Amino acid sequence: MKNILLGLVIFLSSCTVQKINKSFTKTDVFEQGHLGFILLDPDKGKVLVDINSDKYFIPASNTKLFTFYTAYTVLGDELVNGLNYLERGDSLIFWGTGDPSFLHPDLKNQVAFDFLKNSNKQLYLLDNFDQVAAFGTGWSWDWYNYYFATERSAFPIYGNVVRFDKKEENSIFEIIPSRFKNLLKAEKTENWEGYNFQRDRFDNLFTYQIPDKWEGTFETDIPFVTSAEQTSIMLSEALEKKVTLIHNQNYLNSDPKKLQTAPADSIYAQMMKISDNFLAEQLLLLVSDQLNNKLSTSDAISYAKENLLADLPDEPIWYDGSGLSARNMFTPRSIIDLLGKIRTEVPLEKIKAYFPAGGESGTIRNWYKADEGQPAYIYAKTGTLSMSNALSGYLITKSGKVLHFSCMMNNYAKPSSELKKEVEKILYLIHDRY
């Protein structure tokens, strides 16, 4: 009887695998464009489905899986080193590590702020901003007005954005930080039914359109142009004490004290769940600072490729932390191996806390819903760029198995919603049958 039951399970599993393959190959949804899919049963060490898993694809925000693993391995899951500093007599000389948490409107971490505010020494901000390019390799210049392309910097403040926030229908909107109020002007709003905020390409000058009688609420973040000078001024205003900018690069060769600030857990969760590009970029800078007291995205990536990812089946072509660069290229089978590394080193409950959950949270809260009354069965990272869609992560079947999968789609002219609907059907089939 046991042998008969085992044979039946194997037969049903085989039929399911065949149906999954046909779902990808026998539908006109995936006829044009390039598709890669791989499904692994890690308990058996068996690849169940493999479609072009050895081909390179542009991953978009699936790149954040590599950033997350690198940061988690190097920085851990406790507090990040948020400030480098030296004490010289009555002077406190400090500089940025890339920590994004200083007065960040969502992370709400006050450690570095309180440290500087309560110091009885003269404050000197050391300029190390030239170590960090505001935009990453392969980013588009015309993204400057959008939150998804917030400028990277050595010492972020307020998340490097201006937040325009209208919480109540009958209230006027707030501007955080308030210093930008004097740099904002209204434009004509005839026949305008919503709201819109724009920044000058090169300067921190903002315009907005919002009807006088429009009663909705909103929250929108627009990046500001960063610089060492701008940061020293904003620090002085926030701390209500003088912060002097200095350029003596010799201090960078010193062995600084490091102030621990924000919980890494909170940064990982926001970066992964809402696919926050800014946090992803800053995490690689934190990794670089931890490794060699220098801020370099390329150094962090090189370290990861040589020391953490050298055993992947295909070398990652990797340029930034967020996946905004179309020069990034990974293979689905390398992502599957990376997911295995994450499962080995990160407890499943933490993965569930960090990753978007199908039908529940993050970028897939409206997709991949479980049956009514059942817990989420997809925990996965999305990826979206023009002509690039991806979803990679963990699928929990009704039988209790945790499967690993990576789905990458490039160069489809169809709306991404059509692709997602088809992938949703296939993933539910796996969840239901395997």
pLDDT at residue 189, rounded to an integer: 65
Per-residue confidence (pLDDT) for residue 27, from 0 to 100: 77
Q: What is the pLDDT of residue 28?
A: 83
Report pLDDT for 40: 98
Residue partners of 234: CB distance under 8 A and separation at least 6: 157, 158, 177, 179
Check residue 215 and give its pLDDT.
73
Q: What are phi and psi of 261, to 5 degrees?
A: -125, -95
* Residue 13 pLDDT: 61
**pLDDT value of position 15:** 66
In this structure, is the dihedral angle defined by the CA atoms of residues 164, 167, 169 and 174, taken in order, positive or negative?
Answer: negative
pLDDT computed for residue 2 by the predictor = 44
Residue 214 burial by Cβ neighbours in a 10 Å radius (0-12, 13-18, 19+): middle
| DSSP assigned state of 357 | B
How high is the pLDDT of residue 4?
37
Give the strand pairing for 218-223 and 161-166: antiparallel
- DSSP letters spanning 309-337: STTSSS--B---SSS--TT-BB-HHHHHH
Q: What is the pLDDT of residue 24?
A: 82
At 301, is the secondary structure helix, strand, or coil?
helix
> For the chain, how are helix, strand and coil distributed in percent, rounded to 5?
40, 25, 40
The residue assigned the tokens 């690198």 is: 70
For 399, residues 6+ apart whose C-beta sits below 8 A from its C-beta are 434
* CATH 3.40.710.10 placement within the chain: 19-72+285-433
Q: What is the pLDDT of residue 385?
A: 94
Residue ranges in the chain whose pLDDT is less than 50 = 1-12
Residue 214 confidence (pLDDT): 67
Which CATH class, in words, describes the domain spanning 19-72+285-433? alpha beta
CB atoms within 10 A of CB 93: 21
Residue count of the chain, please give it. 434
Query: Is-contact 100 267, C-beta < 8 A?
Result: yes
Q: Is the dihedral of CA 408, 411, 414, 417 positive or negative?
A: positive
